[in-house]
Structure 1
Amino acid sequence: MKAVRIYHYGGPDTLTYEEDVPEPAVGPDTVLVETTATSVNPIDWKVRSGARQKDFPLDLPAILGRDVSGVVVAVGRDVRSCKPGDRVIALADATYATHVAVPSALVTQLPDGVDPVDAAAIPLVALTGDQLVRRATRAEAGQTILVSGALGSVGRAAVHAALKLGAKVIVGVRGRQLAEAEALGAHAAVALDDDDALAQLEPVDGVADTVGGAIAAKLLGKVKPGGRFGYASVLPEEAKAPSVTISRVFAEPDPVTLRAFAEDVRDGKFVLPISQRLPLQETASAHERLEKGGGGKIVLIP
């Protein structure tokens, strides 16, 4: 099969496109998916560079990638939930490849009406945002939840999840993004780069943080005693709040929630901007653009 592998930690130039990589084996409870598309996420370049080696050590050479959209081409002997020919999406591993082996319990059928290429952008960001809200902040109807970096892909998913739960959502963005943030349908917005605006912000029940750093430390101080602060970024070591429960989120597979997000994409209820669609051969270029930041997901097509 074709795949992109790395042989050592480093920059984007460590990503090597190869055309003769062995296909993954199909175990009794796994399915083999022929990839329609995958996507790149910030965690990918952080793992590739070695910055997250402690959290996500690699057995080199390794194939990166967490998102996959594709067609089932083979199933293990114990699989009953899907069959060859099914279109599926999943949060998986080693997805920068033309074929991906996934435990059958982790895949979900791609709803009719969803673009199978753009669907590859959904899994990691949707599940990270959802779990920030549901598991870390434990948002409930009527509570006030602040989502930082709300115009980013994970932030958008967190806003969507919080609104579906009936929470009052405040979106945190840069001052120049306030007008754009109105389209998210939140109850209010605050400029994260405006110290005066942050000082006037009333305490909230929870924060779902996707920004990290100094901004996260400031927002931690805005959580009510007994509240919750969830983050999927990096929180400064000096950031402490004894009366607040602080939780770091690493997205876990959840095919039911993933299917719900895909249906909401189909129905126009959740919008996940795609900035570029690139061939798998240009994964290194995708990583370069990803590290520079910017809006929208980058999808890779084998």
Structure 2
Amino acid sequence: MRAVVLHEYGGPDKLKYEVVPDPVAGKGEVLVRVAATSVNPIDYKMRSGEAKEHFPLELPAIIGRDLSGIVREVGEGVRGFAPGDKVMAFATKTYAELVVVKATDLALVPEKLDLVHAAALPLVTLTGEQLITRGTKIQSGQTVLVSGAVGSVGRSAVWTAKKAGAVVFAGVRKSQLKEAEILKADHVIALDDVAAMERIGFVDAVADTVGGKTANLLLAKVKQGGVFASVLGPPLDAKMHPTVKVEPVQAVPDAKTLKTLAEDLVAGRFAIPIDRMVPLEEAGQAQAAAAKGGIGKILLLA
């Protein structure tokens, strides 16, 4: 098969499109012919070496976390999947034509969801969902502020919080206020507007997807005994707010929830914007574009 291989840490040019041995499905695993994968920030952080402390690679390596495709073979003991099934997963080594996935991490693609578009969902939707359910643990009637709400993870978090019955503040930049109306949050707040920030009262929880100085500002908005959950680690000022529980969140595979989120998306309850679709061999250029920010998901077609 062909795959995008990283031989050494560095820039996008370090990603090489080349022929590698086909993977083989073992016990409890499924071999998937990939239709598409997608670019996520963790991909280029792993490529550059920025994330090697928490996500070390044994080089040469194939990176990538999302996939959608067609089941080619099932390993020993696998039930519920058969060759020809359309599937998606939060997996590893997905910048490739063939990927082996644990059957327990694999979900069937809903009938009305385009197979290629399904590749945009696994990492971002599960991260947003788990930021709320495992991070904030928000309850019906409580208030939660989601930062970076128009991003893919933020959109998923807003929907999950609304689904839980929470009162949701969508935190965005002033330039994104109009775009944020589609989220159907209870309130939309410009996090880069000092006056708007001063008007925010205390909230039960913050679901943070942006980090940095904004995270420090939002930490001060969490009431005593509240929760600050983040996908980017604790804010620098965390020790100054000992009554706030800081919850770091790192997404894990959850096939059942992934399928439910995909069904919610098909039903129009939330959306994950797709900016462009490019061939897998252009993974380096795609990562460079994604790293600049401000765009929807980039899909890589295998």
**Does TM, scored on the shorter chain, surpass 0.5?**
yes
Secondary structure at 1:135 match in 2: helix
Secondary structure at 1:116 match in 2: coil
Q: Deviation per CA, 1:51-76, whole angstroms, max 9, x where unpaired?
A: 11111000111111000000110011
Query: TM-score when scaled to structure 1?
Result: 0.98
Q: Deviation per CA, 1:216-247, whole angstroms, max 9, x where unpaired?
A: 01101100111111111254434332111111
| Matched residue, 1:280 | 280
| Matched residue, 2:290 | 290
Could you tell me whether the CA contact under 8 Å between 1:147 and 1:172 is conserved in 2? yes
Q: Unaligned regions of 5+ residues in structure 2, if any?
A: none
Secondary structure at 2:261 match in 1: helix
Q: Deviation per CA, 1:135-158, whole angstroms, max 9, x where unpaired?
A: 100011101010000000100000
| Matched residue, 1:207 | 206
Could you tell me whether the CA contact under 8 Å between 1:261 and 1:270 is conserved in 2? no
Q: 1:181 to 1:261 in 2, by over 3 A?
A: same
> Quick one: distance in 2 between partners of 1:13 and 1:237?
33
The aligned runs of 1:179-198 (5 Å cut-off) are 179-198=178-197
The aligned runs of 1:1-302 (5 Å cut-off) are 1-18=1-18, 20-240=19-239, 241-302=241-302
Amino acid at match of 1:51: E
Amino acid at match of 1:183: I
Amino acid at match of 2:284: A
Q: Unaligned regions of 5+ residues in structure 1, if any?
A: none
Amino acid at match of 1:244: V
Amino acid at match of 1:81: G
Q: Deviation per CA, 1:160-209, whole angstroms, max 9, x where unpaired?
A: 11011111000000012112111100000111111221122100000100
> Cα distance, 1:90 vs. partner?
0.5
Secondary structure at 1:151 match in 2: coil
Secondary structure at 2:238 match in 1: coil
Q: Deviation per CA, 1:232-279, whole angstroms, max 9, x where unpaired?
A: 125443433211111111110011110011111211112110001010
Amino acid at match of 1:97: A
Could you tell me whether the CA contact under 8 Å between 2:138 and 2:161 is conserved in 1? yes
Secondary structure at 2:59 match in 1: coil
Could you tell me whether the CA contact under 8 Å between 2:147 and 2:172 is conserved in 1? yes
Secondary structure at 1:179 match in 2: helix
The RMSD of aligned alpha carbons is 0.9
Amino acid at match of 2:198: A
Could you tell me whether the CA contact under 8 Å between 2:2 and 2:20 is conserved in 1? yes
**Moved >6 Å (runs of 4+):** none
Secondary structure at 2:175 match in 1: helix
| Identity of matched residues, % | 52
> Cα distance, 1:295 vs. partner?
2.2
Count matched residues.
301
Q: Deviation per CA, 1:111-156, whole angstroms, max 9, x where unpaired?
A: 1010001110000000000000001000111010100000001000
